[in-house]
Amino acid sequence: MDGYLITILSNIGMVSFVALSAYILLLSGQISFGQQAYFGIGAYVAGIATVMWQWPLAGALLFGSLAAGAAAGLVGLATLRLSGIYFAMATLAFAEIMRIAAELFVYRRDIGGIESGPDGVDGFRDIRYFFANEFSPLETCLIVYALLATVLAILCIIERTRAGRMLRQIGEDPLLAEVHGINVMSVRMIAALAAGAVAGLGGGLYAHLMTYVEPKSFDIMLGVHALAYGLIGGLGTAFGPILGVLIDIGLLESTRIFHGYRMIVFGGLVAVLLIVRPRGLLDEVAVSRIRRALRRRRDAGD
Amino acid sequence: MLEIDGLKVRFDGVEALAGLTISIPAGARIGVLGPNGSGKTTLFNAISGLVAIAGGTIRLDGRAISGLAPHQIAAAGVARTFQSVRLFHRLSVLDNVLPIAGTAAAGSHDAREAALAALDVAGLSAQRDILAGDLGFYDQRRLEIARAVAQRPRLLLADEPTGGLSQAESDQVVALISRAFGPDTAILLIEHQVAAVEALCPRSLLLAEGRLVADAATSDMRRDRSLADVYFGTRLAH
Amino acid sequence: MAAVDLAQNTLDGLMIGSSYALLAIGFTLIFGVMRRLNLAYGPTIMAGVYLGTAAFISFGAPILVILAIVVIGAAVVGLYVERLCFRPFGEAARTASMVASFALWMQIEEAAMHLLPRHMNPFPPLLSAPPLQIGPLLLRADHLVMLAATLLIAGAVTYFLARTRFGLAIRAVIDQPRAAAIVGIHVQRVMMLTFVLASAVGGLAGFLIAATDAQVTAMIGMWATTKGLVAMMLGGLGSVKGAIAGGLLLGVLEAHAQWFLGPQVRDMVAWGLLFVLLAFWPGGLMGSKALDRTMAVGRRV
């Protein structure tokens, strides 16, 4: 495989984590403009762990993901009872605070004769774990997809459990769910924790793949794109957000068909698509049809 | 089993419920009658914890449930259907029922069995995989009841379960409610069709302006002039 | 001279805040009528300002002509946004509406970059009068014009909402959309015209901001969306008065924060205040749990 293709594939993989993170909250009925904050936390924490503390990659990614999840939990305590635009704005406010905090964050130390660490607006450079340990681009790409597949598999399994159905019930009508005995606040809290951890994992991968992360890497554009991917690809299944990422980055950006006019084409397409399918291509209706068709085929095969 | 004592609810200073005291024995089936705005739905909302109560207590099996969160009240055994059908339209029929089927502690297999049994009772087994939003209106009404059945409640609050249905469908729904819940489940039924109430509930409560004005046998109440007075809005005889 | 600094900062903040207030008025009108967030509001303003700038650069158009181009341009682009992102969606598809407006944000911004590819472009200054000296305080003349224009527009919008038939229709749609439809108000037309009105107010704000800076940058779209949103939220959502209060508060807060803490922390303070208000002031805001529940019950049961 050539380098360009691997780069594009890696990008799709990394952005998918943030898209899945926004998707988890969308399922619970909350619109977050701030999942990029947890992506940033994961990136910085995991980067610091491998560069400054010389941790192995797996431990660093896990720690970054946990730190992001913990932050999401704390933010959730303060924001989860808000709804609609109030929740969206509170999450955006938190994400902007974190981005500016990263601009102010300087933590430099001498590591093996090189001055390393986050350096304010200039960001955190030389996160060279993959390089130092002689991973090939293909191998790093495989690591991204192995982790993405794991997260997707977990999400798909959860969606088929009672808890997954509860999440969807809360997303559609929280009051009705509550009347039926579902503790809306605690389910939303678990969703927020999970969403934060997923975004944090993506951030940790990003920092190591790109070898740097800067405050600009997780501005509002990342958050709103992540939200849009779920709505483009569809909210009926966890594959929806991935499809959204594939359409945007995979089809439009990488093929450069509309070079220089990509957003003019893409923006118009998305607006028209949403008119036809307000909950995306793979929405609940489409997913239900596909499931029934598959079941019929399986039954016929028996 | 359900003891309501001096229940008050206020909206913007107006008393929607002005001190209701009602006692419901286990397994009782009781109609709740009264004109629009008399406080019937507000009574249901107060029991299920959807509105803040301004005074009084509600006890279920001796335990105070007033002040609990709605999900705790539901877990204590209160099920509820809504005047305007309220379903999860984007979920399949089965998925509407599954999360509340059985107890929280029940395994997923038991929950699934309970959910399927409830759909079976309501005659919706064949439709279990289609989205609730794609059901016809009569089936949506039945799904609401199936959901309540799956919850195995101590108390069912049924708010006009026959609203918007034809006469034949109404009769079917009343028959379904009558057979789907065992003798352990008390039912409070809000209905405008007195005949439907009579078919299911030997006893009825009559509310007007947030007060309990009569508590008697449904058949007596039907003959009683004062019921007509309340319904047609003429002044109550003092 | 700390007292003088404080006074000067407050004064500067009020002046800048008046532009935030204008942005917030437009946002509030749209949110009130639509109950949905228009993320393309800033880019709409950007489109108007960029058209005006292009006219200035290409033909050296006089400032009043530029003003007209900016306002009409923003109104037309606003109409486009309404058509594509809001009219086709019902209440149930609020998220889709918002995401569609984000898609158009990207689209409009790229189109604007094709019109004027440079990051920074010149814009005709509003006034070249020297600053006024009031005791120890300095006051820029063009800032004074901006403040006066804000108050004038706010007054006009308030009068329009309170006293005209169309204003009454807007308020009816804001308070009781369903009832408004029942009494014969053409809700869709009201929404469309409100959108055009709000976009024109936004265009005016954009013009004033560009003219006091004597330049426009490619950041103006993003800037207008975020500042307008924050000012609207600080003002408590839903009234012209609140929008003005929110805008002025944000301006003053930023001026002081910038003076004492620097430009980065300035933005952090604004976001921080918003976060704290939303998270810990539930009683004053609509987000409170009990209110949410009763509202949902009232709406749906």
Which has the higher per-residue pLDDT, C211 or C287? C211
Q: What is the mean pLDDT of residues B82-91?
A: 91
pLDDT number for residue C301? 31
Interface chains of chain B (3 or more CB pairs under 8 Å): A, C
Q: Which CATH architecture has domain C2-261?
A: Orthogonal Bundle (1.10)
Q: Chain C contact for A56, CB < 8 A?
A: no
Cα B236 to Cα B190, B218, C82, distances in angstroms: 21, 19, 54
pLDDT number for residue B231? 61
Rounded Cα distance, A132 and A299, in Å? 53
Which has the higher per-residue pLDDT, C181 or C288? C181
Average pLDDT of every residue of chain A = 91
Pick from B100-114, C19-33, C221-235: least confident: B100-114
Paired sense of beta strands B29-33 and B203-208, if any: parallel
User: pLDDT category, A18, cuts 50, 70, 90?
Assistant: very high
Structural domains in chain B, CATH included, are 1-77+155-238 (3.40.50.300), 85-152 (no CATH)
pLDDT over 50 at C151, yes or no: yes
Question: Across A42-46, A108-112, B37-41, C154-158, which has the greatest mean pLDDT?
Answer: A42-46
- DSSP assignment string, A96-164: HHHHHHHHH-B--EEETTEEESBBGGG-B----HHHHTT--HHHHHHHHHHHHHHHHHHHHHHHTSHHH
User: pLDDT category, B94, cuts 50, 70, 90?
Assistant: very high
| Sequence spans of domains, chain C | 2-261, 263-301
Contacts of A175 in chain B (CB under 8 A): 50, 70
Residue the block writes with tokens 């779209």: C221
Question: Domain range for residue A35?
Answer: 3-220
Q: What is the token pair recorded at C188?
A: 């869709």
Question: Across A58-72, A208-222, B62-76, C203-217, which has the greatest mean pLDDT?
Answer: A58-72
pLDDT number for residue A257? 76
Contacts of B70 in chain A (CB under 8 A): 175, 178-179
Q: Which of C59, C58, C78 is nearest to C200 (CA)?
A: C78
CA distance A262 to chain B (A): 33
pLDDT number for residue C295? 36
Interface contact flag, C103 A274, Cβ < 8 Å: yes
User: pLDDT category, A189, cuts 50, 70, 90?
Assistant: very high
Interface contact flag, C301 B51, Cβ < 8 Å: no
pLDDT number for residue B104? 53
Interface contact flag, B89 A168, Cβ < 8 Å: no
Q: What is the token pair recorded at B10?
A: 């206020």
Is A235 inside a domain boundary? Answer: no
Encode pLDDT of B42-73 as tens digits: 999 999 999 989 989 999 998 999 889 999 99
Q: What is the mean pLDDT of residues B74-98?
A: 92
How many cross-chain Cβ pairs, A to C, lie less than 8 Å apart?
139
Rounded Cα distance, C277 and A275, in Å? 35
Is A250 inside a domain boundary? Answer: no
Q: Are C202 and C44 in contact (CB under 8 A)?
A: yes
pLDDT over 60 at A3, yes or no: yes
User: pLDDT category, B106, cuts 50, 70, 90?
Assistant: low
How many cross-chain Cβ pairs, A to B, lie less than 8 Å apart?
74
Cα B238 to Cα A140, B34, B235, C264, distances in angstroms: 85, 17, 9, 73
Pick from A117-121, A122-126, A183-187, B233-237: least confident: B233-237
pLDDT over 70 at B230, yes or no: no
**Domains identified in chain A, total number:** 1
Q: What is the token pair recorded at C271?
A: 């976001």
Question: Across A57-71, A120-134, C279-293, which has the greatest mean pLDDT?
Answer: A57-71
Q: What is the mean pLDDT of residues B137-150?
A: 94
User: pLDDT category, C293, cuts 50, 70, 90?
Assistant: very low
Q: What is the token pair recorded at B180?
A: 């789907």
Encode pLDDT of A62-86 as tens digits: 999 999 999 999 999 999 888 888 8
Nearest CB to B83 within list C290, C293, C301: C301
Encode pLDDT of C45-91 as tens digits: 999 999 999 999 998 889 999 999 999 999 999 999 999 998 888 77
User: pLDDT category, C286, cuts 50, 70, 90?
Assistant: very low
In percent, the amount of chain B with pLDDT more than 90 equals 50
pLDDT over 60 at C171, yes or no: yes
Encode pLDDT of A258-278 as tens digits: 777 888 888 888 889 899 888
pLDDT number for residue C44? 96
